[in-house]
Structure 1
Amino acid sequence: MTGQVIVVDDEAAIREAAQQWLELSGFSVQACASAAEALTLIDADFPGVVISDVRMPGTDGLQLLSRIVDCDRDLPVIMITGHGDVPVAVQAMKQGAYDFIEKPFTPDRLLDTVRRALEKRQLVIDNRALRQQFAVRDGIAAQLLGVSRAMVRLRRQVLDLAGTSVNVLIRGETGAGKERVARCLHDFSERADKPFVALNCAAIPEHLFESELFGHESGAFTGAQNKRIGRIEHADGGTLFLDEVESLPLAQQVKLLRVLQEKTLERLGSNRSIRVDLRVISAVKPDLLDEVKAGRFREDLLYRLNVATLQIPPLRERREDIALLFEHFAEDAAQRHGRSLEPLTPAELADLLGQEWPGNVRELINAAERHALGLGGSLEDDVGQSLAQQMEAFEAQCLHSALLRCRGSILKTMELLQLPRRTLNEKMQRHGLQRSSYRPAGSSDED
């Protein structure tokens, strides 16, 4: 077994002997002559254990133990006490020490205690990592709703990319949720505590683009009475989200490319270079390669923006998510408006599942809002789908509702739907429903 060990003792002979024994057994050892020196090496993420003498000049072992417990009470500290110094050992254990060793001690006694302490520390670190994974998974599942295979894949891709700083291009139809995905890339990244700055490139008049993106100095042009910080500079340290980036004027594409290459910008009316650190996430509806071929978008900028691509599936391609999303948005709207929510009738549900939703999630939110307000009427006059397609969508929703109600328990779902296991498994596979999507975080796989 290997691991990191910090040895703290003011007596060089004991400190060096302990270090030699531990290193010969494969441990990575840092020896410190004082508590102050050791404290510079310890934080809540330290993956090893600490061995400390009790009696030391200045900050003694018990004081060091107290400081370590304040930092991380689960970090094992092994105390070295003098022969017969039982009261001090008892006090150390009450204070949170993992174990104590009396002088003189043998190498075997030291190594056995260190191995046990490291095993405990590794369990703590593994459990923390699992809890963090569950928290992140549950957090993004609440932001990017859906049980479809496409949404499970999208959430995984977002989390994978959030841990990097690469520029991302998001593709998707109108209303598909491109800004929500961009926001998740930011919120689940190390830049989360820095600004997320969004700019819709199609909403800015061309003559204002340079000032909007890069800022300007006072007097840079007529009407520029005060200095203005541009969107890029404001996003320093964080994320710049450029929605409908295909609308960016060619002149500004050149300047944005320079910022991405040199990581500096100049405000309009200034010759001073300002360093910026930012991640750029862009969103488009059309294929930017077509825009490049048409001469409306620079190829070199496309490659800078498109280090990684995320494709958001349209709502019509993940029909098993429609009812879940509708219920979520309708409940939210009902709560905001102080209304009691009426459940969907079977006809309304079939109507809901049969639509094409050209406006995607944005259109669905609008329909849910109307339903919550009790405006009534059919959700869509023209269903536009065959009976077989509507039946498939309805079956997928029934399976989804049952799995949700049974919290992913196959046995309970079989009983609720009165289906044999093989039939249930086949239907779940056909509709892309995965049991793990419905299981509570941390639950076992047993029904």
Structure 2
Amino acid sequence: MTGRVIVVDDEAAIREAVQQWLQLSGFEVNACASAAEALALVDRDFPGIVVSDVRMPGSDGLQLLDRLLEVDRDLPVILVTGHGDVPMAVQALRQGAYDFIEKPFTPERLLDSVRRALDKRRLVCENRQLRQHAALKDHIEASLLGVSRPMEHLRRQIIELAQTPVNVLVRGETGSGKERVARCLHDFGPRASKPFVALNCAAIPESIFESELFGHESGAFTGAQAKRIGRIEHADGGTLFLDEVEGMPLAQQVKLLRVLQEKTLERLGSNKSIKVDLRVISAAKPDLLEEVRAGRFREDLLYRLNVAVLQIPPLRERREDIPLLFEHFAAQAAERHGREAPPLSPMELARLLGHDWPGNVRELINAAERHALGLSSPPPEGFSGQSLAQQMEAFEAMCLHNALMHCQGNIAAVMELLQLPRRTLNEKMQRHGLSRGDYLPAGSDEQA
């Protein structure tokens, strides 16, 4: 079956004829003689569409349309009438009908409308599933959204490293989500119940850096009127995240190295050693090896920090993630402001995919919030210079991934959904690095 359709018509002959046409085309059909019967079959999670006659005793098709859209405003409803006057068609479309078909009509006209409506419904249901999935805080996909191969690879790396005690260096451009990755390494590991302590090394004045990192005793220096627990000690048992670690003063790099080697620290103004158990996750924008060569970073500390390295791909290298991320952040912003995010037009989507996003996800979040507030059309000024072919490739990869995910790796179903011959589909999957096995349900055999 390729989709579910509810057919509503009080005339049995027409109802049965339409049902037969749709069933012969592979659709699962529920035939109803009244609006009440149809309403009993529909809820917000109904995965299909409704085809209804307009002229019916009791509740007519326009009244049924209103009731259905109260249940789910995104449900496609196709209305059919033998009295196809233009005012009625306009009224139906204004009320939210997906399409309006006049009797007599050919099976081809109905099937074309049904297929398009079901495609729209599939996208709506898939987007809802993605949003529901993102609400599950105990899944890494909720914290690191993305359908691209680079993001799938990054999530796998995080899950593997989260279970280990090794220190990790996170590399990535400005706004790419380095702290989010660090947080996932903490949240999905055995230290999740312990503190996650973040420190931006570039934002702390050098004069107070030692006190901030290691703490101090009362009277340790002028103004130190009370004992203070430093960030390292506060992170005992958990994770210390050092953002922009390249900004740490050399003098404090030496002391941090000693903490990592000896697993003890001394507060400023004290000779007492305090045992600490922590994992250190660092983040840097520049190549720290270059910083070592320039004399701005200690080589021995670098080797302590980069036992494992995670590289976050910039947004321009995973363009197929842009629509999902934009929709997610726009929905979040709309909810915060008590409104609904306006839908993206094809032109706006093309601009999103064509933009270079130098500020990465942080810039995308800002554009999504402005879009949710109706302040501007996304994205901000700037263009990647990518050719049309390159942008179409990114969009094609996203469409293939979504189809494979929806069909759970069923190649025949993907061929039907995308209207592609098998050879073409195989070539496109190979070009985009997509494997059917990655989409099969758990426990499925690998036979095509």
Which residue matches 2:266? 266
- For residue 426 of structure 1, what is the aligned residue in structure 2? 427
Return the offset for 1:320.
1.5
Matches within 5 A, 1:302-341: 302-341=302-341
What TM-score comes out, normalization by structure 1 length? 0.66
| Corresponding residue for residue 389 of structure 1 | 390
* Residue of structure 2 in register with 1:238 after alignment: 238
Aligned residues of 2:213 and 2:232 also touching (Cα < 8 A): yes
Which amino acid in 1 is paired with 2:302? L
Give the CA deviation at 1:339.
1.6
Give the deviation of 1:156 after TM superposition. Answer: 1.3
Residues 279 and 320 (structure 1), Cα distance of their counterparts in 2 relative to 1, 3 Å cut: same
Q: How far apart, CA to CA, are the structure 2 residues paired with 1:157 and 1:320?
A: 20
Provide the secondary structure at the position in 2 that maps to 1:224: coil
The aligned amino acid for 2:400 is L
Alpha-carbon offset, residue 407 of structure 1: 5.1
The structural deviation recorded for 1:393 is: 2.2
- Secondary structure of the 1:370 match is helix
Distance in 2, matches of 1:285 and 1:229, equals 28
Does structure 2 conserve the Cα–Cα contact (< 8 Å) formed by 1:168 and 1:308?
yes
> How many angstroms does 1:437 deviate by?
5.6
Return the offset for 1:443.
7.1
Measure, in 2, the Cα distance between the counterparts of 1:442 and 1:324: 28
CA contact (8 A) 2:367 2:378 kept: no
Separation in 2, partners of 1:446, 1:322: 33
Structure 2, unpaired ranges of 5+: 1-135
Structure 2 CA distance, aligned partners of 1:220 and 1:438? 60
- Judging changes above 3 Å, is the alpha-carbon distance between structure 1 residues 330 and 343 closer, same or farther for their aligned structure 2 residues? same
CA gap of 1:308–1:320, structure 2 versus 1, over 3 A, is: same
1:16-165 aligned within 5 A: 139-165=139-165
Cross-structure match for 2:8: none
Q: 1:242-261: per-residue Cα shift (whole Å, max 9, x none)?
A: 00000000010010001001
CA RMSD of aligned residues (A): 2.2
Which amino acid in the other structure matches residue 335 of structure 2? Q
In 2: Cα distance, 1:378 partner to 1:238 partner: 40
Tell me the SS of whatever aligns to 2:139: helix
Task: Give the deviation of 1:402 after TM superposition.
Answer: 3.4
Instruction: Give the Å deviation of 1:232.
Output: 0.1
Q: Distance in 1 between matches of 2:377 and 2:164?
A: 47
Q: SS of the residue aligned with 2:155?
A: helix
| Residue pair 2:171, 2:285 contacting (<8 A) in 1 also | yes
- How far 1:341 moved relative to its partner? 2.3
The answer as to whether partners of 1:214 and 1:231 remain within 8 angstroms in 2 is yes
Query: What per-residue deviation string (whole Å, max 9, x for no partner) do you get for residues 413-447 of structure 1?
Result: 32221112232232223223445665666777789
Cα shift at 1:345 = 1.1
Does the aligned pair in 2 maintain the 1:147–1:434 contact within 8 Å?
A: no
The answer to whether 1:368 aligns with 2:368 is yes
Structure-2-length-normalised TM-score:
0.66
Larger radius of gyration: 1
Counterpart of 1:275 in structure 2: which amino acid? K
After superposition, the Cα gap between the structure-2 partners of 1:219 and 1:381, relative to the gap in structure 1 and judged at 3 Å, is closer
Q: Who is 2:101 aligned against?
A: none
Q: Measured at CA, do residues 435 and 337 of structure 1 come closer, stay the same or move farther in structure 2, by a change above 3 Å?
A: farther
CA 1:261 to 1:230, structure 2 compared with 1: closer, same or farther past 3 Å?
same
- 2:425 is matched by which residue type in structure 1? L
Superimposed CA distance per residue, residues 314-357 of structure 1 (whole angstroms, 9 cap, x where no aligned partner): 11111121112112212222222222222211111111111111
Instruction: Specify the alignment match of 1:293 in structure 2.
Output: 293
Confirm or deny: 8 A CA contact 2:368 2:378 kept in the other structure: no
Aligned-partner residue type, residue 329 of structure 1: F
1:283 aligns with 283
Mapped partners of 2:378, 2:187: distance in 1: 38
Cα separation, 1, equivalents of 2:183 and 2:366 = 21
Displacement of 1:404 after TM fit? 4.7
Q: Secondary structure at the match of 2:392?
A: helix
Q: Is contact 1:150–1:313 with CA below 8 Å preserved after alignment? A: yes
Q: Which residue of 2 aligns with 1:415?
A: 416
Structure 1 segments, 4+ long, off by >6 Å, are: 440-447
**Contact persistence 2:356–2:382 (CA under 8 A):** no
1:29-82 deviation digits (Å, cap 9, x = unpaired): xxxxxxxxxxxxxxxxxxxxxxxxxxxxxxxxxxxxxxxxxxxxxxxxxxxxxx
Alpha carbons 1:147, 1:437 under 8 Å: kept: no
SS at match of 1:170: strand
Preserved contact between residue 250 and residue 297 of structure 1 (Cα < 8 Å): yes
CA distance in 2, matches of 1:402, 1:331: 23
| Whole-angstrom CA distance in 2 between matches of 1:408 and 1:329 | 28
Distance 1:345 1:385, change over 3 A: same
Structure 1, unaligned stretches of length 5 or more? 1-135
Asked if the contact 1:206–1:249 (Cα under 8 Å) also holds between the matched residues in 2, the reply is yes
- Kept in 2: contact 1:320–1:400 (CA 8 A): no
- Counterpart of 1:203 in structure 2 is 203
Match status 1:349 vs 2:349: yes
Query: Could you tell me which residue of structure 2 aligns to residue 174 of structure 1?
Result: 174
Letter in 1 for 2:426: N
Offset at 1:368? 1.3
State how many pairs are aligned.
312
| 1:55-111 Cα shifts (integer Å, max 9, x gaps) | xxxxxxxxxxxxxxxxxxxxxxxxxxxxxxxxxxxxxxxxxxxxxxxxxxxxxxxxx
Aligned to 1:188: 188
- Structure 2 SS opposite 1:415: helix
C-alpha contact (below 8 Å) 1:329/1:368 kept by paired residues: yes
Change (3 A) 1:441 1:138: farther
